[in-house]
């Protein structure tokens, strides 16, 4: 049974702790793609809620597949007086379902195959080739779709984006759809957590390139290869199992499609530099990960309060400014004597906790303010982008800074200059597009392409974050 990560399901089976495989208990698994997922047992593994909790729980579903629940904890143990029976509920965050049981919550693995929503649309591949001779004459034939192979040099990992055509028969007609996935294969085995981190970073990158929140539709994990003999020859084969976990944000159907002109950068527009783009994304991830994470939180959080989105976007822009090395008014050596002078000038009457608070403000007082950072970043934007966004740089920065200060400190001094709720929606969209611009630059997409994309009227209209 291949399991779709984005679809809820339930399954009956027998369950046991790894160290007590002779004591199997009946129970039912309930998987929820947006969490929490639960196991209802007709008994309990623990005598009380204070008992030590297992990291993993083993099971076998009624269809014969093995299942390992990962990151588990009990939330309820119920004893029925008179009958002596007990029932319990266990929450789990992840699970592996296949022909093997996991011996640890973070095992070494051979490879991972991942399906993403909108991946088919982003690739925009078709197994049908049409040749038209005239308006009434032509031919249609099937063509093999070539894999896209990307080598992540620093990670010593090969990504293979492959597309399989799937035929559907309805009476006398046959239709074809495609199913695309990304196969992740490092040179050496890696831990499960490593593979999940790669799939998460790919999800963020696809969200940026598609211009829509992308979700994971399925994960197939191969723990290792098994040896077998065929026609006198020794061969090895892997048996992937399904890996499921609860995702943050909106879960999209893999069958949902969008058109290339509604995307930020479909594959065909960046195909000539796809290796560089993927390598840039992963090579920079360690130093810019906080920007990736904040961008992703906003991108998948369509129902988040507008003030939260506004402040979080500014945090991501500040983090990006720090990544670029734009941080301090003076060098640390230059600032040190000024810090000592200002700190020694704090009156003795100031209480210790107040004194420490002022000291902290002075310590970070040499870092660029939000106003300074926005001036530098927006100063580097092409005027065509500012004109397309219909913003005055000085007015935009002033209102953004005053609104952030008010929302953070509830300071009424500049309350008359803060953005209205409606304006916050508009400015938040502009901030998101500005962050997109700089992330596109970091990917290595040419500035000419980025400017052409962002200044196109459809880009602002089609943004769905």
pLDDT in tens, 278-297: 999 999 998 999 999 999 99
Tell me the mean pLDDT in the region 212-239: 79
> What is the C-alpha separation between 348 and 340, in angstroms, rounded?
15
Return the residue matching tokens 């090895």. Answer: 236
Rounded-to-integer distance, Cα 179 and Cα 440, Å? 27
Q: What is the pLDDT of residues 8-64, one digit of tens each?
A: 999 999 999 998 888 899 999 999 988 789 999 988 887 766 666 778 999 999 999
Residues in the chain: 465
pLDDT above 80: residue 251: no
Higher confidence at residue 464 or residue 346? 346
Share of the chain above pLDDT 90, in %: 51
Q: What are phi and psi of 245, to 5 degrees?
A: -165, 160
Residue-level pLDDT at 39:
95
Compute the average pLDDT of residues 190-210.
Answer: 96
Q: How far is 195 from 82, CA to CA, in rounded Å? A: 49
**Domain boundaries, given as residue ranges, for the chain:** 9-98, 108-215+250-283, 292-327+368-462
Residue 34, pLDDT score:
84
- Between CA 128 and CA 130 the distance in angstroms is 6
Q: Is the pLDDT of residue 252 over 80?
A: no
Average model confidence (pLDDT) across the chain: 86
pLDDT at 43: 87
Helix H or strand E encompassing 360: helix 352-363
The pTM score is 0.88
Q: Reply yes or no on whether the pLDDT at 209 is more than 90.
A: yes
Which pLDDT does position 413 carry in this prediction? 75
pLDDT tens for 431-463 read 998 999 999 999 999 999 998 888 877 776 656
Residue 386 exposed, middle or buried by CB count within 10 Å (0-12, 13-18, 19+): middle
Question: Between 298 and 129, whose confidence is greater?
Answer: 298
């Amino acid at each position: 049974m291949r399991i779709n990560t984005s679809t809820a399901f339930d399954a009956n089976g027998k369950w046991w702790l790894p160290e007590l495989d002779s004591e199997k208990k009946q129970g039912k698994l309930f998987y929820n793609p947006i969490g929490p997922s639960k196991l209802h047992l007709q008994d309990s593994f623990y005598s009380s809620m204070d008992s030590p909790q297992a990291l993993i729980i083993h099971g076998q579903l009624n269809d014969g597949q093995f299942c390992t629940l990962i990151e588990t904890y009990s939330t309820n143990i119920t004893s029925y007086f008179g009958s002596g029976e007990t029932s319990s509920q266990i929450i789990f965050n992840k699970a592996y379902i296949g022909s093997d049981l996991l011996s640890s919550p973070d095992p070494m693995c051979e490879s991972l195959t991942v399906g993403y929503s909108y991946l088919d649309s982003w690739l925009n591949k078709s197994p049908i080739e049409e040749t038209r001779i005239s308006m009434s004459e032509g031919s249609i034939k099937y063509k093999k779709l070539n894999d896209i192979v990307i080598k992540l040099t620093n990670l010593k990992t090969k990504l293979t984006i492959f597309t399989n055509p799937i035929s559907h028969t309805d009476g006398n007609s046959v239709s074809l759809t495609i199913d695309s996935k990304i196969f992740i294969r490092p040179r050496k085995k890696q831990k499960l957590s490593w593979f999940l981190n790669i799939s998460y970073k790919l999800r963020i990158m696809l969200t940026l390139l598609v211009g829509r929140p992308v979700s994971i539709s399925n994960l197939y994990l191969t723990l290792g290869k098994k040896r077998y003999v065929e026609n006198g020859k020794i061969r090895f084969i892997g048996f992937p199992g399904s890996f499921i976990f609860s995702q943050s944000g909106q879960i999209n159907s893999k069958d949902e499609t969008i058109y290339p002109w509604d995307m930020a950068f479909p594959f065909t527009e960046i195909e000539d530099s796809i290796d560089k783009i993927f390598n840039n994304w992963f090579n920079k991830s360690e130093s810019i990960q906080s920007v990736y994470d904040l961008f992703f939180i906003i991108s998948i959080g369509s129902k988040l309060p507008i003030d939260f989105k506004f402040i979080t976007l500014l945090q991501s822009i500040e983090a990006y400014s720090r990544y670029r090395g734009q941080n301090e008014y003076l060098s640390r050596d230059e600032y040190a004597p000024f810090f000592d002078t200002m700190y020694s000038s704090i009156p003795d009457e100031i209480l210790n906790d107040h004194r420490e608070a002022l000291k902290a403000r002075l310590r970070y007082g040499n870092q660029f303010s939000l106003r300074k950072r926005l001036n530098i970043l927006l100063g580097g934007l092409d005027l065509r982008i500012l004109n397309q966004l219909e913003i005055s740089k000085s007015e935009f920065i002033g209102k953004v800074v005053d609104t952030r200060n008010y929302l953070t400190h509830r300071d009424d001094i500049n309350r008359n200059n803060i953005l209205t709720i409606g304006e916050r929606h508009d400015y938040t969209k502009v901030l998101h597009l500005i962050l997109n611009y700089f992330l596109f630059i970091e990917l290595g997409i040419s500035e000419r392409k980025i400017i052409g994309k962002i200044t196109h009227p459809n880009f602002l209209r089609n943004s769905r974050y």
